[in-house]
Amino acid sequence: MPPGNRVHGLKHGESMSNPPSHDESAAPENLSEVFARLTDVPLDQVDKLIEATESAYSDLNRVMEHSYWADLVYHQGATLRALREARAELDAFRAEATGARNTELGIMVATGVVDGEREYADDAESKHALVERLLRPPRQGSACHLYVWDRPYEDDRVPGPYRQIRVVTSADDEVGALNFTEEQEDGQLYSWQTRSSRESAEAPVLRFDLGSALTFPRSSVVGFTELRAALDEFVRTGECPESVGWQQARWGE
C-alpha cells in the first residue's frame, strides 16, 4: 500500500503531515551490527523442542486408556503445529536479517549448485573459485546453476533471486553455453542464451542437462575465456553480463 494511504495507527489529533516525533539520537549508528544480532535466532532450540515433543508422543501412546489421553494428544498436535510454524517464521526472519546485513555492508552472495550440492561465495577469492568449479563440474555436461543475492540461496522451494544462470560446459573442449533466466515484474520468465561471435560447425553438442533431449544451438557455444568473464561479471554485479553476446533462448539447430 502506498505510504499516502496509510492512516491506521494515528492517534486522535495527529495528522499525516505531523507524525509523532522520534529521538533521532537513539537510532543505532551501525545497522549492520543490529541486523547481525537478528540473525542469531535460536533455531537449534526450537528444533530441540520439536524433537522432545515428538519423542514424548510414543510414550503417550502407551497410556491410551488414561482419561487425559485424548486431551494430551490434542494439545500436543497443536503444540507441534505452532512450533513448526514458529520455526519456519524464525528461519525466514533470519534470512531477511542476513540480507539486510549484507546490503548494509555491500556484500553480494553467489550460490552455485554443482552436481546437486550448494556452494556459497561472498568475496572475490571464493567467487573466483566457485566460477572455476562451475566450468569444470565433476560430471562433464551436467548443468550447474548460479544465483547472486543478498544472502545464500539455501532452498529453491522458497522465493529467491529473480535471476539465474545455467552453465553447461565441455571441459575437454574448454567451451560451453550459458542460459540466463529472469523473472520480470509482470511475473513472466524470460530466457536468453549466449551468442558466439564466430560460430563453429565443430562445436560439440551441449545438452540442457544430462539425458535431456534439448540441445543448445551451436551459435550459443563460446569459449572458456568468454564464459569465465561472463560468470565473473555476474557474481560481482548480479546483473545480466554485458561481456558476452546474448540471443533469445531456443533449442537445437
Does residue 109 surpass a pLDDT of 90?
Answer: yes
d(CA 16, CA 204): 65
User: Does residue 77 have a pLDDT over 50?
Assistant: yes
Residues forming a β-bridge with 191: 181
φ, ψ dihedrals at 154, nearest 5°: -90, -20
Q: What is the mean pLDDT of the chain?
A: 85
Give residue for cell 516525533: 21
Q: For cell 533455531, what's the residue?
A: 43
Would you place residue 35 in the very low, low, confident or very high pLDDT band (cuts 50, 70, 90)?
confident
**Calpha distance 43→4 (Å, rounded):** 38
pLDDT at 203 over 90: no
Domain parsing of the chain, residue ranges: 28-105, 109-248
pTM value?
Answer: 0.75
Question: What is the pLDDT averaged over residues 179-196?
Answer: 90
What confidence score (pLDDT) does residue 27 get? 59
Q: What is the pLDDT of residue 13?
A: 40
pLDDT of res. 1: 30
Q: How is the chain classified by DSSP, letter by letter?
A: --GGG--TTPPTT-BTTBPPP--GGGS-S-HHHHHHHHT---HHHHHHHHHHHHHHHHHHGGGTTSTTHHHHHHHHHHHHHHHHHHHHHHHHHHHHHHHHHHHHHT--EEEEEETTEEEEE-SHHHHHHHHHHHHS-SSTT--EEEEEESS----TTS---SEEEEEEEETTTTEEEEEEEEE-TTS-EEEEEEE-SS--TTPPP-BSSTT-S-B--GGG-EEHHHHHHHHHHHHHHSS--SSSEEEE-----
